[in-house]
């Protein structure tokens, strides 16, 4: 399947590449939250983390870690958002797995807040049981 990110991978669409290896590559986001906002993208067009082999996903997070460290060194950023929008329900616009690495600064005014919901009495125990994973 061809996606925007396979086209960028193959050089059919120009990009500013900062990393490339056998499992993933990284480019500057064209519409950055802050300058240097990067995407770590699987070479293969997995749509979400569930489709992505564990070894590839683990590798991608380590590449994101390296890039984040480089951002701190290059820009002196104070923190970062490392995030995956996983399927359209979460806001994913490009259906090809990618990790956002976003440099953040104290008081940069960009914000990051999702609306909360509330548990009813006893509901948290039920949810915990549903999610308990061994
Ligand atoms: P998401 O909403 O998690 O799917 O994020 C997709 C990201 O891809 C957005 O942050 C876009 O700004 C970014 N994007 C879209 N087209 C390009 C492009 N041609 N080059 C670099 N980044 C892009």
Q: Report the predicted TM-score, pTM, of the whole model to 2 decimal places.
A: 0.96
Quick one: average pLDDT of 1-17? Answer: 97
Q: In a mutational test of the pocket of ligand 1, which residue from 93, 96, 97, 101 has the highest number of ligand atoms less than 8 Å from its CB? A: 93
| 37, 59, 96, 98: the active-site residue | 98
pLDDT tens for each residue of 65-118: 999 999 999 999 999 999 999 999 999 999 999 999 999 999 999 999 999 999
pLDDT value at 134 more than 90:
no
Task: Report in angstroms the alpha-carbon separations of 91 from 24, 30, 46, 83, 85.
Answer: 22, 17, 16, 11, 6
pLDDT number for residue 39: 98
Ligand 1 within 6 A of CB of 32: no
Any idea what the CATH number is for the domain that residue 21 is in?
A: 3.30.428.10
Contacts of 112 by beta carbon, 8 Å cutoff, 6+ apart: 81
Ligand 1 within 6 A of CB of 14: no
Looking from the CA of residue 13, the nearest atom of ligand 1 is 19
Task: Report in angstroms the alpha-carbon separations of 41 from 21, 58, 96, 117, 124.
Answer: 11, 12, 8, 31, 35
Q: Which residues pair with 17 in a beta bridge?
A: 27
Q: Whose CA is nearest to atom 13 of ligand 1?
A: 29
User: Ligand 1 mean position to 109 CA, how many Å?
Assistant: 21
- The percentage of the chain sitting over the pLDDT mark of 70, rounded to a whole number, equals 100
- Give the span between the Cα atoms of 5 and 133, in whole angstroms: 33
pLDDT number for residue 61: 98
Active site residue 98: yes
pLDDT tens for each residue of 11-60: 999 999 999 999 999 999 999 999 999 999 999 999 999 999 999 999 99
Q: Nearest Cα to 82, choosing from 73, 72, 74, 95?
A: 72
The structure tokens listed for 16 are 């500013």
Ligand 1 within 6 A of CB of 94: yes
pLDDT value at 127 more than 90:
yes
Residues in the chain: 134
Angle at 7 between CA 9 and CA 71, to 5 degrees: 45
Compute CA 114 distance to the chain's CA centroid, rounded to the nearest angstrom: 16
User: Ligand 1 mean position to 112 CA, how many Å?
Assistant: 18
pLDDT number for residue 107: 95
Quick one: average pLDDT of 3-12? Answer: 98
Residue 86 is part of which domain span? 4-131
Quick one: average pLDDT of 108-134? Answer: 96
Q: How many domains does the chain have?
A: 1
């Amino acid at each position: 399947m061809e996606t925007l990110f396979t086209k960028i991978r193959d050089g059919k669409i120009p990009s500013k590449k900062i990393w490339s290896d056998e499992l993933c590559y990284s480019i500057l986001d064209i519409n950055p939250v802050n300058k240097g906002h990067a995407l770590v993208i699987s070479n293969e067009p997995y749509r979400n983390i569930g489709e992505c082999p564990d070894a590839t996903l683990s590798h991608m997070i380590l590449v994101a870690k390296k890039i984040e460290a480089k951002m701190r060194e290059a820009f002196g950023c104070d923190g970062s958002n490392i995030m995956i929008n996983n399927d359209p329900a979460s806001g994913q616009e490009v259906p090809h797995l990618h990790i956002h690495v976003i440099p953040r600064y104290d008081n940069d005014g960009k914000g990051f807040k999702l609306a909360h919901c509330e548990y009813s009495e006893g509901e948290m125990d039920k949810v915990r049981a549903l999610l308990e994973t061994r």
